[in-house]
Amino acid sequence: MGPQRAVAGIARRALLRYARGGRKGLRLEADPPVTILLSSAWGMGGTIRAAINLAGYLAPRHEVEILSVIRRRDTSFFGEFPPGITVTALDDERPGAPRGTAERMLRPLLRRLPSLLMHPADRNAPFNSLWSDINMVRQLRGRTGILIGTRPGLNYIAARMTLPTLATVGLEQMHLHHHVPRLKQAMRREYGAFDAFVVLTETDIGNYTKHLGKRAPRLVVIPNTVRPLGGDAPDLAAKHVFAAGRLVPQKGFDMLIPAWAQVAADHPDWRLRICGYGKHQARYEGLIATHGLEDVVSLEPATSDIGADMAKASIFALSSRFEGFPLILLEAMSKGMSVVAFDCPTGPADIIDHGRNGVLVPPKDIDAFARGLRTLIEDEDLRRRCGAAAVDTARLHTIEAIGPRWDELLAELVATRRGQASPVGR
């Protein structure tokens, strides 16, 4: 072990000892405070939407605070936060953010140093720093109630802290096999410290049970929830297909565009609109040009009013290589859109009943995706039947339908800590 690693280890242990040094005992009350760890509460993405939905649902019965590692925007991408929740940024990166004397002096130095608490293999590790570490332990020291992580790196922090005043819940938003080996090894080593670990699908239960083995904590399935969207009902006669997401390989737009090239050959009067942002925008623009689709495919910025965008189309396309539980798919279904999706791991097969509420095609099969699009394009009656059934499916995933599972979990954590109940889950 080199000198730098040794010093980092000493500093990490000091941070953890400090975090654990508050009140020593924990007796949870019936409706304990809830703290949710999130990378960026003001950003966009399914994890953020799901966490905000959950916070809003719990707020009438719990004191709820979201601790966001970073803040870069004045307003949330998704609009106003639900009433009754507090949102605190551990590192406010806005140029005009108010700062005290100590922050003005220490922040520039400590932000240059990598996080000692966040696992470096987590994709969001660069958002964390020693500055955010220090603010996190200051916030959590002596705090009581329930602590919920929302991604592997934050789950890793919560599990390692083992704070005596907080019951901890890990929450996984992605399927296990997506994670790199180093991160999966850390999960196996640390996740047994959780009071409960929440996954999104039954498939995840099996995978995590096998992976964590004898160290597995209580495992519970609670899917993410769809939020109400604005905008009119979709026009199921419209000759438009809509897709949305980050412009990254995960979302598979590099497969959707060549699939559309096949569709456009038979249906030149139909249009595809892709909304999103990301580092691969230039690549996708080039792919559109390569296939000669400039007149029938548009690549447009992400919008916070996605309901209004969906109202202009009749079909939603999910071309992802992998997902955790695709909220965007459920949102489209809640609007009454007909949908085509790859049967990627995980989520679409848990949502789509092929031919009844949508079309499910083999993963990464571009030709099959093109056929699925053509099926809905050429059969307006099928589009309308699938759209109506999709609404019924989405109702099963509203916060009103799923939220009681969280109530049950939190209540049983309280009872278990008091020695009054058997564990939750399996």
Domain positions in the chain: 11-225+400-417, 240-397
pLDDT tops 80 at residue 423: no
DSSP structure string for 287-343: HHHHTT-TTTEEEE---S-HHHHHTT-SEEEE--S--SS-HHHHHHHHTT-EEEEE-
What is residue 416's predicted lDDT score, i.e. its pLDDT?
Answer: 87
Termini Cα distance of the chain: 40
Of 408, 326, 332, 251, residue with least CA distance to 50: 326
Confidence bin at 25 (pLDDT 50/70/90): low
What is residue 26's predicted lDDT score, i.e. its pLDDT?
Answer: 59
CA 299 to CA 294: how far, in whole Å? 9
pLDDT tops 80 at residue 329: yes
Q: Structure tokens of 416?
A: 């278990």
What is residue 230's predicted lDDT score, i.e. its pLDDT?
Answer: 83
pLDDT digits (tens, 9 = 90+) for 238-255: 999 999 999 999 999 999
Task: Please state which architecture CATH assigns to domain 11-225+400-417.
Answer: 3-Layer(aba) Sandwich (3.40)
Q: Which of 101-105, 283-287, 406-410, 417-421 has the lowest mean pLDDT?
A: 417-421
What is residue 76's predicted lDDT score, i.e. its pLDDT?
Answer: 93
For residues 121 and 183, the answer to whether their CB atoms sit within 8 Å is yes
For residues 170 and 193, the answer to whether their CB atoms sit within 8 Å is no
For residues 332 and 242, the answer to whether their CB atoms sit within 8 Å is yes
What is residue 27's predicted lDDT score, i.e. its pLDDT?
Answer: 66
Average pLDDT, the chain: 93
What is residue 1's predicted lDDT score, i.e. its pLDDT?
Answer: 53
Residue/partner pairs of 186-192 with CB below 8 Å, 24 or more apart: 186/119, 186/121, 186/152, 186/156, 187/152, 187/155, 187/156, 187/211, 187/212, 188/212, 188/213, 188/215, 189/215, 190/156, 190/159, 190/160, 191/155, 191/159, 191/215, 191/216, 191/217, 192/159, 192/216, 192/217
46 or 376: which carries more pLDDT confidence? 376
Q: Which of 9-23, 32-46, 99-113, 196-210 has the lowest mean pLDDT?
A: 9-23
> How far is the CA of 39 from the CAs of 54, 67, 128, 400, in angstroms?
15, 8, 8, 25
What is residue 309's predicted lDDT score, i.e. its pLDDT?
Answer: 92
pLDDT digits (tens, 9 = 90+) for 37-89: 999 999 988 899 999 999 999 999 999 999 999 999 999 988 899 999 999 99
pLDDT tops 90 at residue 302: no
Domain covering 240-397, topology: Rossmann fold (3.40.50)
Rounded to two decimals, the pTM is 0.88
What is residue 29's predicted lDDT score, i.e. its pLDDT?
Answer: 78
For residues 56 and 85, the answer to whether their CB atoms sit within 8 Å is yes
Helix (H, G, I), strand (E, B) or coil at 34: strand
pLDDT tops 50 at residue 143: yes
pLDDT tops 80 at residue 323: yes
20 or 275: which carries more pLDDT confidence? 275
Residue with tokens 């790859």: 342
Instruction: List phi, psi (to 5°) of 4.
Output: -65, -45
Confidence bin at 34 (pLDDT 50/70/90): very high
420 or 370: which carries more pLDDT confidence? 370
Q: Quick one: 119 exposed, middle or buried, by C-beta within 10 A (0-12, 13-18, 19+)?
A: buried
Confidence bin at 122 (pLDDT 50/70/90): very high
pLDDT tops 50 at residue 422: no
CA 340 to CA 66: how far, in whole Å? 34
Confidence bin at 175 (pLDDT 50/70/90): confident
279 or 303: which carries more pLDDT confidence? 279
For residues 351 and 386, the answer to whether their CB atoms sit within 8 Å is no
